[in-house]
Amino acid sequence: MTADITAFDLAEAGAVLAAESARFASFGWMRGTSGNLSVVLTRDPLRLAVTASGHDKGELTPADMVLVDGEGVAVGAGRPSAEAELHARVAASTGAGAVVHVHTVASVAMGYRQPGGIVFRDLEMLKGIGQPAHDVAVTLPVIPNSQDMKVLGDRLEAARDPRMPAVVVAGHGLYAWGADPRQARHHTEVVEWLLELELTRR
């Protein structure tokens, strides 16, 4: 731990992330060991609790979290998700307090079908991401995948629409974020609903 973050702080954040992870896993959005979640613990310096690598996301415990720095590097024990660096980048660039990454069929399918971005308008569910239900078009960006988190982070920042708290990584899945884990969950669920609707309409 660091001087500002105690083992209790990490365990408390871990309990929240474990519960959120179990919820997403129950939807089939985090099959096997796929997907990852994070929550910001401090801003200066940036420190996040991130789900550990290689764990079944439906069976996480508060102990299955790793403290990482602003580069996604572990601070202390444990091996974080390989995408911890991207979580840190999203938190730094958007001001988000929590980030969710899920592997859903709808996000991957729609990323293939509309690689230039997925446009939503005239839908009541847009209110769930803070946008008007009518007369405004909001684009969910789709970015090419990369195993290099710096490259992926650059792509995300370049494509990001401030009105849309999410992005699809082609062939991979959905990233969504919010001010805290609850809002990040709501944004994830709303954007996934929008993706599922588009998928069924086509």
CATH number where 26 lies: 3.40.225.10
Answer whether residue 83 is part of any domain.
Answer: yes
Answer whether residue 91 is part of any domain.
Answer: yes
CB atoms within 10 A of CB 9: 17
Answer whether residue 65 is part of any domain.
Answer: yes
Q: Tell me whether the omega of the peptide bond preceding residue 115 falls within 30 degrees of 0, making it cis.
A: no
Answer whether residue 184 is part of any domain.
Answer: yes
Which domain covers residue 84, as residue numbers? Answer: 7-201
Answer whether residue 82 is part of any domain.
Answer: yes
CB atoms within 10 A of CB 118: 22
Answer whether residue 2 is part of any domain.
Answer: no
Q: Which of 94, 150, 131, 139 is nearest to 114 (CA)?
A: 139
pLDDT one digit per residue (tens) for the chain, 202 residues? 565 788 889 999 999 999 999 999 999 999 989 999 999 999 999 999 999 999 999 999 999 999 999 999 999 888 998 899 999 999 999 999 999 999 999 999 999 999 999 999 999 999 999 999 998 899 999 999 999 999 999 999 999 999 999 999 999 999 999 999 999 999 999 999 999 999 998 7
Q: For residue 185, which amino acid is it?
A: R
Domain tally, the chain:
1
Answer whether residue 1 is part of any domain.
Answer: no
Q: Name the DSSP letter for residue 74.
A: B
Query: What distance in Å separates the CA atoms of residue 120 and residue 131, rounded to the nearest whole number?
Result: 10
